[in-house]
Amino acid sequence: MSLSDAELERYARHIVMREIGGPGQGALKQARVLVIGAGGLGAPALLYLAAAGVGTLGVIDDDVVSLSNLQRQVIHATVDIDRLKVESAAAAVERLNPHVTVEPHAARLGPDNALDLIAKYDLVADGSDNFETRYLVADACYFAKKPLVTAAVGIFDGTLTTIRAHEHAADGRPNPSYRCLFPEPPPPGTVPLCAEAGILGALTGVLGSLMALEVIREIVGFGEGLVGRLLMIDARSMRFETLTYAWDPSNPLTGEKPTIKELRQKA
């Protein structure tokens, strides 16, 4: 895909990189990425994906901007309070990079719309804030055969991984699914909500930026991806660690005897 003179100048720092270059920048321009949520994680991810020149960004969120969001959701501003987050995010991306097309979806992702929506994109970046949605997105990406970059944050910690459960590893074994990593969601009430426990705003910026970086690496194809690896961040001690995980033959989605054959409301 050809780049205009303005795009060549805008993305010059990418194009001079051996790992990206003109072909990589062209791949970014041609890519279609769906971002789940325009909140703490989705906000920085959208900004950096737009700045990087991802050609089409879809964003789904049914919420409106509130004053308490602005401590961390940097794509929105004070003037956007009470505005739909997808509209605010689309306007911010347009201001940042007019070469990027934004497709806002002012809706809540559910079993009734997930597959149709995800099928329209090449890759999904999940920045949702609850386990129910994370399992739904991961299962939908498996059925739709789409790669997934998924991140999560706690009060002082965060995680990031890439899921390609619809593909096999070099050794012929299936790649792990989200359910191989987290077989069951935590019991209700054991994970406090953001409004109850608080969250470090800059931490969502770190994880959202890393999510964008991983999406870019998946599109361009450089470096060692996070398939089968979970990046963990501890903001208290400023430690970054990575653990490996593998396909679980007993998992209910992609195991030897799968019991999940279609999307369902509960994890």
Give the residue numbers annotated as catalytic, written as ranges: 194
The Cα–Cα gap between 185 and 188 comes to: 8
Residue with tokens 């050794």: 171
φ, ψ of residue 57 to 5 degrees: the values are -115, 120
CA–CA distances in Å: residue 29 to residues 7, 25, 55, 216:
10, 6, 4, 11
Q: Give the three-state DSSP class for 148.
A: strand
**Structure tokens that stand for 148 in this block:** 């997934």
Query: How many Å apart are CA 117 and CA 242, to the nearest integer?
Result: 31
